[in-house]
Amino acid sequence: MVSGRTVSRGLAVGLTAAMWSGMAMAMEQPAVIPASEVRDVVARSGLAYRIFVGKPQREAPRGGYPVLYVLDGNAVFGTAVETMRLQSWRSEVSGVDPTLIVAIGYPGDAALSLDRRALDYTPRPAGVAADARSGGADAFLDFIETELKPQIERDLPVDRSRQALFGHSFGGLFVLHALFNRPGTFQAYVAASPSIWWHDRTILAAEASFVARASGIAPKPRLLITVGADEQPQVPAAALPSPHLTRIASARMVEEAEALAGRLAASGALPVAFVSFAGENHASVIPAALSRALRFAGRRAEPPSAPDVP
């Protein structure tokens, strides 16, 4: 004999299952970042790019939006847009205006296109023959400077005096290359965990050339260099348990980033800031670096003495 309690319990379970089944069906749709769009483009070089554009959900100021161009767009676009919205939610307190995010990525669903970023983000050292796998930084910078930026400026209200470039790792190396070779392309540069070690630290030659001619550069751009404090092991390389960790140690990520910031600041070539994020490694540091980048690049004035969040 089946009791009324058993029937009631079975009915409740059936109704609950039906409810969750219906809810699951209703939820089966992609999440969408508001006020954003994606464009697939082919550069004059013949290379394809995916451009992610995140627009502030406020009317543009009279002079247009400041812009942050972000590399590795497939991986970091969502983080950059939502960080911008939080930072600029109370711009009268934070001093950070709503900022246009333009993230440069590649067609496909992969977070990182290792082959393409190795080509686009690395400079070609002097005297080294062209290589289809690396050394394409100048061509990539041409695309940004002569194709992408003009298109964005035609399509959207942009403050051309407040444009910044952010890159991490190889992207940070590219940021340094762009700064040292074409400093007028952006007003602010953010090199997060830059791969200064690449190709026997060849970027340091570009640094020396930039410093030598810096007195003739006006207006001077600003530079922020960031790194995660845990990106460099704190023990001798010989004591590390694996070849991978030994390679990480040999890159001297923290030492090299801090030393570069110190040299540039001492030279007076441009205003430089350096931040080491405690407890962060090469991957975990990205959100922190993006947050600081937006405050560095989008700040219009020092904020009043008040908390960022009420």
Give the number of other Cβ atoms within 10 Å of residue 126's Cβ: 8
Find, among 98, 120, 2, 3, the residue nearest to 50 by Cα.
Answer: 120
Burial track 236-259 (b if 16+ CB lie within 10 A, e otherwise): eeeebeeeeeeebbebbbbebbbe
Catalytic residue positions?
A: 169, 231, 282
User: How many CB atoms within 10 Å of residue 156?
Assistant: 15
Q: Which residues pair with 70 in a beta bridge?
A: 103, 166
Tell me the HSE value of 130 on the side-chain side, using a 13 A CA sphere.
5
Task: Label residue 158 exposed, middle or buried (CB < 10 Å: 0-12, 13-18, 19+).
Answer: buried
